[in-house]
Amino acid sequence: MGSGKYDCYFKHDPAEVSKCLLCYDPECSRACPQSADIGGIIRSLYFKDYMAAARKLNCDCTYCNAPCEKACLLCKENRPVAIRELLTNVKIDKDLLPKHRIEAVDMSTDICGVKLENPFLLSSSVVASSYDMCRRAFEAGWAGAAFKTICSFTQHEASPRFSALKNHANAFCGFKNIEQLSVRTVEEDLQIIEKLHKEFPSKVMIASIMGRNEKEWTELASKCEKAGASVIECNFSCPNLENADLGVTIGLSEELTERFTRAVRHGTDLPVLAKLTPNITDMVPVALAAKRGGADGLAAINTINSITGVDIDTLVAEPSVRGKSIVGGYSGAAVKPIALRFIADLCRSKELAGMHISGMGGIETWIDALEFMLLGAGSVQVTTAVMQYGYRIIDDLIEGLSEYLKGRGIASVRDLVGGAAETIVDRNSIERDTIVFPVFDYERCNGCGRCYISCMDGGHQAIKFDSESRRPKLDGKKCVGCHLCRLVCPEMAVMTAGKVLDAEAIGR
């Protein structure tokens, strides 16, 4: 029951869902005469948690005059979300549900033997930087948090410190930060960890640390263990520090990574994760250096060196700090493909076999998290999505992944880890002798011609377009099976179930 099959149960309009502002204390829910959680239902649709959306629907919209739509804040712009239409289509066709569906699954996993009640953690960042924030996250349902990196040297932050690339729905595609580490003293941060550990003994506190020398790495690890941390995470990858000898500089060096990991190992008996940088061609050699130093696991990826853009009015790169900017760390949905590549590399390395991988980089939905786990991550960490949508996304992360497991008949989330890793092969091992032709679903096709335009100008001129019927037609003699047409179709009316032909047999 993957995302494609999952979508077919719910004939909603993703573009309409994306209009929703995902309000705090949504007025649409207040206005529902049947007390339905309208805002929660649409939020579940937004994060692809369709079963939860259907389960929350306790109202009948058939004869309702939709006061929820009239209450939508977008009414001020005369473009309210079409709530009634959306909710009318939120229903489960039980005949389509998998026959092997099970009703109970185990969502617990672990980091090197430290139990997690679910795979979802806050990554070391502003979202896990205070007692109150971690408390609220734990109460919401997050399994744990990597506390914002603890260090014994002063931080000197800039303002503003964020910039973003956005899509048409105003959501972050990519996010840049130039933020540094914890602004508190080591003692203050240790007190927070100790308090959280006592109040939430079932939650996992990961202490992210950074030292300037071996002595500091060892001492910080020891102090964090005594304060109640369950795991130590070595920040070898922050790209934003004023001191060029710290953070990402360590993660670029096998020698420094091994040396400082060993220093941490001397200071603690807790599991140690090395948080690695993607600002490198091959992460595996550095990961092996961390293993030699005594690391039990790996965390990846941290943010990517970036410039998100230039303000064309002021002619200053973003974010502008009194007319200047710097290269910063890039995160969000745009980095997920890069993160998945590194996770797969780490998982496929035989020399790293058995090491826990805590994956991060662009996770917003349960599907994103699932992809990380299928490529080898035993736990996942989230920051940017929480910064945009809040801790509340944990509901749909947990429920969406749980429903996937139930639909697949998989009893434990642990059984997913690495399930797709072997499908990544070397370039000379991929099969190149057949062609899979695309097939047009004319019932879904709206006749826009986007497939024709893209094939003509960016493909192999293999689609003809009849202006009278407004239907595309495939020219099999020219089609190479690249499937650009499928990717650009706004109605998902181009399918992949076409005939598979041997390339040599048709003269390719």
Least confident of 159-168, 250-259, 306-315: 159-168
Phi and psi at residue 37, in whole multiples of 5°? -85, 75
- Residue range 58-73: average pLDDT? 88
pLDDT confidence of residue 58 = 84
Peptide bond into 92 cis (omega under 30): no
Strand 356-360 and strand 379-382: the pairing is parallel
- Residue range 265-272: average pLDDT? 98
Catalytic residue among 61, 68, 112, 238: 238
Strand 328-331 and strand 304-306: the pairing is antiparallel
pLDDT at 441 over 60: yes
How far apart are the C-alpha atoms of 130 and 135, rounded to whole Å? 9
- Residue range 110-135: average pLDDT? 98
pLDDT confidence of residue 101 = 84
Which residue spans within 133-195 are E strands per DSSP? 144-150, 162-166, 172-177
What's the fold here for domain 3-96?
Fumarate Reductase Iron-sulfur Protein; Chain B, domain 2 (1.10.1060)
DSSP structural state of residue 425: -
Q: How many CA atoms lie within 13 A of 234 on its CB side?
A: 43
Higher pLDDT residue, 189 or 90? 189
pLDDT band for position 7 (50/70/90)?
Answer: very low
Where in the chain are all domains bearing CATH 1.10.1060.10? Answer: 3-96
How far apart are the C-alpha atoms of 387 and 393, rounded to whole Å? 11
Closest CA to 402 of 96, 110, 50: 50
pLDDT confidence of residue 62 = 76
pLDDT at 193 over 80: yes
pLDDT confidence of residue 8 = 44
pLDDT at 96 over 70: no
Rounded to the nearest integer, the mean pLDDT of the chain is 92
Q: Which stretches of 106-247 are DSSP H helices?
A: 131-140, 186-199, 214-227
Burial, 52: exposed, middle or buried (Cβ in 10 Å; 0-12, 13-18, 19+)?
A: buried
In the numeric block, which tokens belong to residue 460?
A: 């192999």
Domain 109-158+179-307+332-423 bears CATH identifier 3.20.20.70: yes
Identify the three-state secondary structure at position 73.
Answer: helix
> What is the per-residue pLDDT across 339-387, written as a single tens digit (0 to 9) for each?
999 999 999 999 999 999 999 999 999 999 999 999 999 999 999 999 9
pTM for this model (two decimals): 0.94
pLDDT at 501 over 60: no
Least confident of 166-175, 203-212, 459-468: 166-175
pLDDT at 303 over 90: yes
> What is the per-residue pLDDT across 399-420, written as a single tens digit (0 to 9) for each?
999 999 998 999 999 999 999 9
In the numeric block, which tokens belong to residue 85?
A: 């239409």
The crossing angle, in degrees rounded to 10, of helices 38-46 and 394-408 is 60
Identify the three-state secondary structure at position 264.
Answer: helix
pLDDT at 437 over 80: yes
Q: Is 238 a catalytic residue?
A: yes
pLDDT confidence of residue 309 = 96
pLDDT band for position 208 (50/70/90)?
Answer: very high
How far apart are the C-alpha atoms of 92 and 107, rounded to whole Å? 23
Identify the three-state secondary structure at position 240.
Answer: coil
- Residue range 318-341: average pLDDT? 96
CB 274 within 8 A of CB 236: yes
pLDDT confidence of residue 503 = 52
pLDDT confidence of residue 143 = 98
pLDDT band for position 288 (50/70/90)?
Answer: very high
Where in the chain are all domains bearing CATH 3.20.20.70? Answer: 109-158+179-307+332-423
Q: What is the dihedral of CA 487, 492, 498, 501, to 10 degrees?
A: 0
Helix/strand/coil percent split, the chain, to 5 = 40, 15, 45
- Residue range 206-230: average pLDDT? 98
pLDDT confidence of residue 450 = 97
pLDDT confidence of residue 3 = 44
Where in the chain are all domains bearing CATH 3.30.70.20? Answer: 431-506
Least confident of 94-108, 137-151, 336-350: 94-108
Closest CA to 53 of 99, 103, 92, 95: 92
CATH number of the domain at 431-506, please?
A: 3.30.70.20
- What's CA 14's distance to the chain center, in Å? 19
* Whole-number percent of the chain with pLDDT over 90: 82
How far apart are the C-alpha atoms of 311 and 315, rounded to whole Å? 5
> What is the per-residue pLDDT across 226-236, written as a single tens digit (0 to 9) for each?
999 999 999 99
- Residue range 110-130: average pLDDT? 98
